Amino acid sequence: MCGIAGYTGEARALPVILESLYRLEYRGYDSAGIAVEEEGEFFLKKVKGKISRLEDALMETMVHGTSGIGHTRWATHGEPSKANAHPHFSEDKSLMLVHNGIIENHEQLRQKLTTNPEFKSQTDTEVLVHRLAENYEGDLTEALRLTLQEVEGSYAVAAMHLNEPGKLVAARSGSPLIIGCSGDGNYIASDLPALLDFTREVIFLDEDEIATLTPDEITVQTIQGEKRKKSINSISWDAVQAQKGGYKHFMLKEIAEQPQVLRQAMQGRVDGSRVVFPNLELDEEVLKNLKKLTLIACGTSHHACMVARYWLEEMTDLHVEVDIGSEYRYRSLNYDAGTEMLIAVSQSGETADTLAAMRKVSAQGVPVLTICNVLGSTMAREADDVIYTHAGPEIGVASTKSFTTQLLVLFLFSYFLGRLRGSYGEQPDLLEKLIELPDQVDSLIRDRSLYKKIAREQFKKEDFLFLGRHLNYPIAMEGALKLKEISYIHAEGYPAGEMKHGPIALIDEEIPVVVLGPTSRVYSKMLSNVEEVKARGGIVFGVSMVDDRSGLAEVCDYQIAIPQTAELLTPFLTTPPMQILSYELAVRRGCDVDQPRNLAKSVTVE
Ligand code: F6R
């Protein structure tokens, strides 16, 4: 989704903002722009397309101004174009504004305008800038506060006025926004990676807060005008983690980081045959009294929840429900606050649909736990408790390491809950096997030659089928999602048992079938499904264990071998092959792996 960057301080603002915008590229965008205050006027540059085009357009521009705002736009209202790119400005160009999100009542705001400005774009944002100009009486913070009281929708905004040099005003409601502080000046950004080159000291703005920044001061109040005292947080992620570090793509780097982040996510949580969550504050009595657990998420995070359902059902006596945020939020449900809990799972902690589902449940008094990656994200702050996945910054749009660390935390939480409720015995062997996983994942991702070969042979195919059962059914869905989002090949993930109920009609020699068949309780069923596909001329890529001697590896056209592990842990080892296969196919097809078309990393609108 759109990205906001801003700076006011002692340094030249243009390179600082440009650098921040590059760090926000991963969020997805289709145009970009920048405005810097320069000797009593605004220098403004906007382009359709990539930030590198904006940089080219700025070549040899000597702008010395030390405060400005920038934006990457992911089109919602109006096509991607230079005119629709932000910043947008008032008639007299004394006011500049950038905006993320959607102004739902833009039509009513347009009717309210008392002046008759000439609109230069098709965006909802331009209405906001004209209304802000009308409300301006010498104090930008006050004008923005009054204007935002009229706005319905979700937004993060940042604005500047020529009458108040060096001052940035920023606000959020429904879209993330953070403030960076350093001795050299102060910053605004949509996400941490945009700040890490400059500072690790940040303030997380809460919903409906407005911040006023000058080079040496930050004040915060609410849109209702109540002053707020904010604490400064030190972030341990560093800028190097948010860079490619010699890899061709962020996605490849993030796939390769999985052994290390899995170790990180286990650290301090596995103790012999016990699982502990040292920072968990949820009352143990609440967890013991539960009867029902609902897991909510979107996309890849939803697939992690689907896997977790099998773990929770095996290790606890709870009724477990899993749903997609965008569906769950509109369901009519009855809650029992004393015996239910919701787990919201999200990499970003900002996904609008998951957040809405979480708020709906929270309003009924049901405790909410979030499992997320981004420190200080909205979900982390609004939930009753949070377990971080510790995957570090994930920049590639396709989730990889965030998925495997979500799996890890969900597995540990299932075990923890099972032990706490007395429904699951101590399983030292299982935890020992869990500890082996990072090394096993490492062995899986080191050699990509088989995947490259498959990609060479299959990259022209337009359809793929992914089949799995039980714990590996969600991984089949994840394999299909990864493939379609980065290579634009149509792919479907199916529970293999459903083949006979329709999809088998698709099988012929043109459709590659990826079968997830590690040794498990459903192995022989998977074997029958492979036979059915082979009998109809299908090409099968089977993911099975190294010592798979019971037939599946032989029947398949290719075996993708994974190390031996416990059945419950197989999703950790069937996932990396899905990621690498998609990656190699996408690279072979010449796709933009890290920023696939039409996609955004953090989906902050419904
Ligand atoms: C796919 C992908 C998306 C996200 C989804 C939820 O690779 O990344 O499907 O998983 O948008 O995002 P989070 O986890 O941030 O809530």
Maximum Cα–Cα distance across the chain: 79
**pLDDT at 207 > cutoff 80:** yes
Which pLDDT value is given to residue 239?
66
List the structure tokens of 208. 């409906």
- Do 93 and 41 form a contact (C-beta atoms < 8 A)? yes
DSSP states of 467-482: EE-GGGHHHHHHHHHH
Q: Decide: 541 and 558 in contact? Cβ < 8 Å.
A: yes
Ligand 1, from 74, 255, 300, 346: best to mutate by most atoms within 8 Å of Cβ?
300
Q: Encoding tokens for residue 382?
A: 């609004």
d(CA 330, CA 356): 10
Confidence of residue 2 (pLDDT cuts 50, 70, 90): confident
Ligand 1 atom closest to 351 (CA): 16
pLDDT digits (tens, 9 = 90+) for 211-251: 999 999 999 999 999 999 999 988 877 766 777 777 999 99
pLDDT at 600 over 80: no
CB contact at 8 A, 1 and 74: yes
Q: What is the average pLDDT value for the chain, to the nearest integer?
A: 93
Atom 9 in ligand 1: which residue has the minimum CA distance? 299
Ligand 1 binding residues, C-beta < 6 A: 298-301, 346-348, 351, 354, 398-399, 481, 485, 602-603
Cis-peptide, bond into residue 87, ω within 30° of zero: yes
Q: How far is the CA of 383 from the centre of ligand 1 (A)?
A: 19
So what's the pLDDT on residue 240? 65
Quote the ligand 1 centre to 136 CA distance (angstroms): 39
**Which atom from ligand 1 is nearest to the alpha carbon of 397?**
8
Tell me which fold the domain 252-433 belongs to.
Answer: Rossmann fold (3.40.50)
Q: Sign (positive/negative) of CA torsion 386, 333, 152, 2?
A: positive
Q: What Å distances lie between residue 327 and 298, 353, 354, CA to CA? A: 10, 8, 10
Ligand 1 centre from 601 Cα, in Å?
7
Q: Could you read off the pLDDT of 179-200 as tens digits, one per residue?
A: 999 999 999 999 888 998 999 9
Fold match flag (3-244 vs 252-433): no
Paired tokens of 289: 């009294």
**What pLDDT band is residue 108 in, cutting at 50, 70 and 90?**
very high
Tokens of 510: 């043109």
- 41-48 β-sheet, strand order: 41-48, 31-38, 67-73, 3-9, 185-189, 178-182, 201-204, 233-234
* Whole-angstrom distance, CA of residue 126 vs CA of residue 15: 26
The Å distance, Cα 349 to ligand 1 centre, comes to 10
Topology of 3-244 in CATH?
Answer: Glutamine Phosphoribosylpyrophosphate, subunit 1, domain 1 (3.60.20)
Strand partners, 155: 101, 174
Residue 65: which of 146, 165, 190, 195 has the closest Cα?
165
CATH superfamily of 447-588: Glucose-6-phosphate isomerase like protein; domain 1 (3.40.50.10490)
Output phi, psi for 88, to 5 deg: -100, 155
Going by C-alpha positions, the residue among 558, 476, 470, 466 that lies closest to residue 503 is 466
Q: In this structure, what is the dihedral angle of CA atoms 34, 35, 36, 40, given to the nearest 10 degrees? A: 160
- Picking from 136, 193, 192, 146, the residue whose alpha carbon sits closest to that of residue 171 is 146
Q: What is the separation, in whole angstroms, between the first and last Cα of the chain?
A: 11
% residues pLDDT > 70 (the chain): 100
Q: What is the pLDDT of residues 72-93, one digit of tens each?
A: 998 877 888 999 999 999 999 9
Q: Which residues in 534-587 belong to E strands, given as ranges?
A: 539-545, 558-562
pLDDT at 551: 84
For 47-63, write each residue's pLDDT tens digit. Answer: 999 999 999 988 878 89
**Per-domain residue ranges for the chain?**
3-244, 252-433, 447-588
Residue 495, preceding peptide bond in cis (omega within 30° of 0): no
- List pLDDT tens digits, range 366-387: 999 999 998 888 999 999 999 9
Residue minimizing CA distance to atom 7 of ligand 1? 398
Task: Give the residue numbers annotated as catalytic, written as ranges.
Answer: 2, 601
**What is the rounded CA–CA span in Å between residue 576 and residue 249?**
16
- Please give the pLDDT value at position 492: 96
